[in-house]
Structure 1
Amino acid sequence: MKSHQAIMDSSPIIAWIHNISLNQQKYMKRKFKDLDLGHDVRYIMYIYDNPNCSQEDLVNMFCQSKGNIAKVLRKLEDGGFIKREVDPENRRKYKLNTTEKGRQLVPKYRELSKNWELEVGIGEDELELKNRIREIAINGMKLTENNEG
């Protein structure tokens, strides 16, 4: 049985999305063999797109524990992708920014990611699909936020 045969009509859509994510990560890992970043690249990209963001921003965005985020940030900082600076307005917080190494990685990663999308059939004309998936992701975040209180 070929692995793609496990994608069944009866599978929940989240299983398909998870499969897509894992396969995209495998593809990217092969392209960036020397980096061993896996899913951690998403944090670099978020920091790149949101200069001076905080660890708390990452906790909220990615639904990860503070401890897990701190561990990943340490790895990314040790790898030279990000830098943490004490926030002068709140000395208990850090402002996060990409380093030159991180700033060089993001455009390369995005280009390869776009190539992967084209290879699997997600074209430039799929704006409606992309917007709908983004909307679902936001709704999921809101739903979990509303149920936490």
Structure 2
Amino acid sequence: MMEKTKDVTDIFANLDEKVDIIFRYNMLMNVYQSIPREYTPGFFMSEIEIHTLGFIQRCPGMTAKQICQLTFRTKGTVSSMLSKLEKDGFIEQKVNPENMREHNLYLTEKGEQTCRKHIAFDRRTTADYLMAASEYCTPEEINGYFKLTAFRTKYFEDVLQREKKRYAEIVKERKKESKK
């Protein structure tokens, strides 16, 4: 029995316009995420900081290395951020007694309260977005967006890993060549 081939012609229609839509969305989200918000009086946090607290809340005892993997940030960037969060009283680090080189991360009460406020903010913002989207899209289209976004995230996580590996190999090869 012959399998039907999907007709993807329509998907590729207006490809340049679709590329621009994705680019503008990504740029807009970068700006949106860079705006510090005051979840705790007197303390403004970036999206990366507040979501890091959320990761720690969902997985108490996680490590800085795990935060690096979740946020796609360098060890130095994450280390600086964690130091700031600890200094400001949102997290505490404890040495793992089974591996003295490993520090486990935990929220303080202040960190827990801040997370709760952020969860409420995210839920309210997302609900507002979904209500506005429902004026323009069907529920199936909205759910399709989330399905596609989940796929796109996984797809680009894989691309990122391949590109990082490829880049590291090129750098290594160039260093070998320059020593000749």
TM-score (norm 2): 0.66
Unaligned ranges ≥5, structure 2: 1-16, 166-180
Specify the alignment match of 1:36 in structure 2: 44
Q: Secondary structure at the match of 1:11?
A: helix
Describe the superposition over 1:26-71 as per-residue Cα deviations: whole angstroms up to 9, x where unpaired: 4x72666632111211111111111111110111111111111110
Query: Structure with the greater relative contact order (CA < 8 A, sep ≥ 6): 1 or 2?
Result: 1
Describe the superposition over 1:83-112 as per-residue Cα deviations: whole angstroms up to 9, x where unpaired: 111111211111111111111111221111
Q: Are 1:134 and 2:150 an aligned pair?
A: yes
Amino acid at match of 1:118: A
Specify the alignment match of 2:159 in structure 1: 143
> In terms of Rg, which structure is larger?
2
**1-structure distance, mates of 2:39, 2:114:** 12
Amino acid at match of 1:147: E
**2-structure distance, mates of 1:109, 1:53:** 20
Q: Secondary structure at the match of 1:52?
A: coil
Number of matched pairs:
140
TM-score (norm 1): 0.78
CA 1:131/1:106 → structure 2, altered by over 3 Å: closer, same or farther? farther
Q: Is the 8 A contact 1:24 1:116 kept in 2?
A: no
CA 1:43/1:127 → structure 2, altered by over 3 Å: closer, same or farther? same
Q: Is the 8 A contact 1:85 1:94 kept in 2?
A: yes
Q: Structure 2 matches for 1:1-149, cutoff 5 A?
A: 11-20=20-29, 22-23=31-32, 26=35, 29=37, 34-39=42-47, 40-120=49-129, 121=132, 126-149=142-165
Q: Secondary structure at the match of 2:43?
A: coil
- The Cα of 1:19 is off from its aligned counterpart by 1.1
Q: Using the TM superposition, name which of 33-42 and 8-17 deviates more.
A: 8-17
Amino acid at match of 1:64: R
Q: Is the 8 A contact 1:56 1:66 kept in 2?
A: yes
**2-structure distance, mates of 1:21, 1:148:** 21
**1-structure distance, mates of 2:127, 2:34:** 15
Unaligned ranges ≥5, structure 1: 1-7
